[in-house]
Structure formats: C-alpha cells, structure tokens
C-alpha cells in the first residue's frame, strides 16, 4: 500500500501539536506546574522589588555624603570625593543595564556585594543573620501554634462557659494590639525604671554573649535561649490568639458534622473522636496559615529585632533600608520571597499527608 506524502499543512501543524502536548503535560503534572509557577512568582517579585527600591528618595551615595557632611563637618565636594573613592558603583548607568546585571548575578548564584559593608558579599551577610531570625521566629510560632491549638480545642468543648469568655476576651485583646505597640509595652513593663525590672537589656543584646564560645554545649544553648526569650515571647503573644480563635472556630464547625455524630453513635470514645475525627479536620486549614505566618513573620521581624537589639535578618534589613544598600535589600527580599513561595508549595504537599483524601494529581497520587 502506497504511503501518502505529508502535505505542507500537516508538516506545519506538527510542531504546534508538539508544543501543545508539552504545555499540556506540564499542566497535568501538578508538581511541575506548581514549581514553574513558583519560579515565575519569584522572578516577578524580584523584578518589582528591584525597580521599587530605586524609586525611594535618596541613594546610597547621597546618604553617605550627607552623613560625612553632618558628622565630620566636610563640604559637599570634599565628602563626595571621599564617598566616590569608597563606593565602586555607578548609579548613573541605565536602569535596564543594572537590571540585566542583577539577573545575571542571580543566575550565577550571586546576590552581589554590599555597598556599605566595603564589598562584603550579600550572601555572606544573609547567611550570618538569617539563622538567628529563623530560630527566634520559628520557635515563637511553634510555641504559639501548640498553645493556640490546645486552647482552641478547649474553648470549643467548653464554649459559652467562663473559660471560653475569659480566654476569648484575652485573645481578642491580644489580636488587636499592633506589633509596635506590644514591643513598646514590653520594654516599658520589663525595664527596671518604669516596670517590674526583671530584664537587663544591656545583657540581652545580640544573639549570644561575646564571652560564650559557640558550639553544641549547654552553656551556649542556654545563652542563646536567654538572648532570644523576649523576641520569642513577643512572637507568641502576637500569634497565639490567632491560632486559638481559628482552632476554636474550626473545631466547633467540625463538631457539627455528620461524621462526628456517626462516630458517637458507634460508641467511640470522646478522646478518639477529638483527635482522629475532630482535631484532624479542624487543624488542616491552619497548616497553610502556619507556613505563611512563618514566612511573613520573617519579613515583619524588623521592628522586633531593632528595638530588642537582636541579631537577625530583620534588623539587618532595617539598616539596609536606612542606608539604601540596594544589593542587601534585594537579596533579603529575594530570600523572603523564596521562603513565602516555597512555603506555600510545601503546604500543598503537607495537605496530602495530613488528609489522605487530598492527593497530588497528575504523575503521582
């Protein structure tokens, strides 16, 4: 049987079909689809941050010049000569060329060098400060999550009682206090002159004491916890009421579901119903909240770390913003964006672990 030759239209349509199949395969593969969206989101946010920070009033050179003029009583021309000898940057370069260099550095695994730290790599700065913020924020959120989940279940089972009204009122008050106000209140209440005087702020500066040798020793671990206790308590107070009220609402909704009544009709114990049926379904929506709260708390740690003089990425971000250190600002915002985006992706994957009814579609269960 003779083979019919392909027409020009069929040959032209073949690549289009292949491209559609490729994009169709990407769309059907859940993990690959989510990963590509995450990369696109990170690029979009990084691009937006790059252009927005350059719209801020002032630049690192001008700020450094005025600092020399005010502190060393130099003329503007003399201060400019000194600053230009210190800064190896050209802010007069076209913005799109700067953006090209920025993306090129990222693709080569570099975040550039700091303007104000005499050429120190931004990656080195972030690696030096980020672990301490992860420790304090992570510990504070974990403690607040555990306490809030337990109190939320208690309030749901004891609703309309004195415990419900008391803790509900306290939670409503705490959730309405802004972070800045809470920080100021803690400083005033804990310092010796105006408060109860149980905190010596001069000894709690930084992440650990200078005379303590870092290492996996009880002395170092205890000293780190001592320096982080106030930021951790602050994160707990800022978040515990949110977890408590959300868990109470979810638990009350779960208690009204038909499967709970069926479980009770089968004669199952209340403890098993509370953990297996009620608690598991009530806590599921909070998993997303927790990962996103961790990511956003990293970015919101600037105020807490600044006032408590804690060594963290938030305080370093505040310093970079004040001096208009563009590479440090870009690097920190990029890292925070990556944490938020991939934290959200991790949440989707954890859903399938917590609730077996939820599985990843396309390519795997």
What pLDDT shows up at residue 362? 44
**For residues 249 and 363, what is the distance between their CA atoms, to the nearest angstrom?**
36
**For residues 60 and 46, what is the distance between their CA atoms, to the nearest angstrom?**
20
**For residues 287 and 343, what is the distance between their CA atoms, to the nearest angstrom?**
10
Residue range 298-312, pLDDT digits in tens: 777 888 888 888 888
pLDDT at 24 over 70: no
346 Cβ contact list (under 8 Å, min separation 6): 291
Under a CB-based contact definition with an 8 Å cutoff, are residues 320 and 115 in contact? no
**Per-residue b or e along 315-349, where b marks 16 or more CB atoms closer than 10 Å to that residue's CB:** bbbeebeebbbbbbbbbbbbbbbbbbbbbbbeebe
Reading the block at residue 186, the tokens are 């803690």
| Residue 6 DSSP code | P
Least Cα distance to 319 among 134, 183, 133, 116 occurs for 116
What pLDDT shows up at residue 139? 92
Residue range 77-121, pLDDT digits in tens: 777 777 766 666 666 778 888 888 888 888 888 888 887 777 788
What pLDDT shows up at residue 196? 64
Q: How far is CA 208 from the centre of its chain?
A: 23
What pLDDT shows up at residue 143? 93
Q: Tokens 């709260």 sit at which residue? A: 293
Predicted confidence band of residue 365 (pLDDT cuts 50, 70, 90): very low
Least Cα distance to 286 among 252, 254, 242 occurs for 242
pLDDT at 286 over 70: yes
pLDDT at 184 over 50: yes
pTM of the model: 0.76
* Number of neighbouring beta carbons within 10 Å of residue 33: 16
Give the torsion through C-alpha atoms of 162, 164, 165, 166, to 10 deg. 80
What pLDDT shows up at residue 250? 86
Under a CB-based contact definition with an 8 Å cutoff, are residues 121 and 110 in contact? yes
What pLDDT shows up at residue 363? 42
Please state, in angstroms and as integers, the Cα–Cα distance from residue 13 to each residue in 25, 27, 150, 228, following that order. 18, 21, 61, 63
**For residues 178 and 356, what is the distance between their CA atoms, to the nearest angstrom?**
38
Q: Read off the pLDDT of each residue in 211-230 and give the average, rounded to a whole number.
A: 85
**For residues 253 and 156, what is the distance between their CA atoms, to the nearest angstrom?**
9
pLDDT at 364 over 50: no
What pLDDT shows up at residue 359? 52
143 Cβ contact list (under 8 Å, min separation 6): 232, 236
Domain definitions of the chain by residue range: 127-265
Residue range 315-349, pLDDT digits in tens: 888 888 888 888 888 898 898 888 888 877 777 77
Q: Angle of helix 280-299 relative to helix 326-354, nearest 10 degrees?
A: 170
Q: Tokens 């953990």 sit at which residue? A: 275
Under a CB-based contact definition with an 8 Å cutoff, are residues 114 and 235 in contact? no
């Amino acid at each position: 049987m003779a083979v019919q030759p392909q027409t020009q239209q069929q040959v032209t349509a073949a690549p289009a079909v292949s491209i559609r199949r490729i994009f169709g395969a990407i769309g059907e593969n859940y993990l690959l689809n989510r990963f590509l969206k995450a990369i696109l989101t990170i690029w979009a946010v990084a691009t937006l941050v790059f252009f927005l920070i350059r719209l801020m009033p002032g630049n690192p050179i001008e700020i450094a010049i005025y600092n020399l003029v005010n502190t060393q009583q130099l003329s503007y021309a003399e201060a400019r000569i000194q600053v230009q000898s210190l800064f190896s940057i050209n802010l007069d370069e076209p913005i799109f060329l700067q953006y090209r260099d920025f993306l090129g550095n990222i693709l080569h695994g570099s975040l550039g060098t700091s303007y104000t730290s005499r050429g120190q790599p931004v990656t080195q700065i972030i690696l030096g400060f980020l672990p301490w913020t992860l420790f304090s924020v992570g510990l504070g959120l974990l403690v607040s999550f555990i306490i809030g989940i337990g109190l939320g279940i208690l309030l749901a089972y004891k609703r309309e009682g004195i415990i419900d009204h008391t803790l509900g009122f306290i939670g409503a008050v705490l959730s309405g206090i802004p972070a800045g106000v809470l920080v100021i209140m803690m400083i005033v209440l804990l310092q010796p002159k105006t408060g109860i005087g149980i905190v010596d702020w001069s000894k709690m500066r930084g992440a650990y004491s200078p005379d303590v040798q870092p290492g996996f020793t009880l002395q170092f671990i205890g000293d780190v916890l001592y320096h982080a206790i106030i930021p951790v308590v602050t994160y707990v107070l800022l978040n515990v009421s949110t977890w408590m009220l959300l868990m109470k609402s979810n638990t009350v909704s779960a208690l009204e579901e038909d499967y709970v009544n069926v479980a009770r009709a089968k004669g199952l114990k209340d403890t098993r119903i509370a953990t297996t049926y009620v608690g598991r379904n009530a806590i599921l929506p909070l998993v997303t909240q927790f990962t996103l709260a961790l990511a956003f708390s990293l970015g919101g740690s600037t105020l807490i770390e600044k006032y408590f003089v804690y060594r963290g990425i938030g305080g370093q971000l505040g310093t970079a913003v004040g001096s208009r250190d563009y590479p440090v600002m870009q690097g920190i915002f990029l890292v925070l964006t990556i944490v938020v985006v991939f934290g959200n992706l991790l949440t989707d994957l954890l859903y399938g672990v917590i609730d077996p009814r939820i599985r990843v579609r396309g390519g795997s269960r």
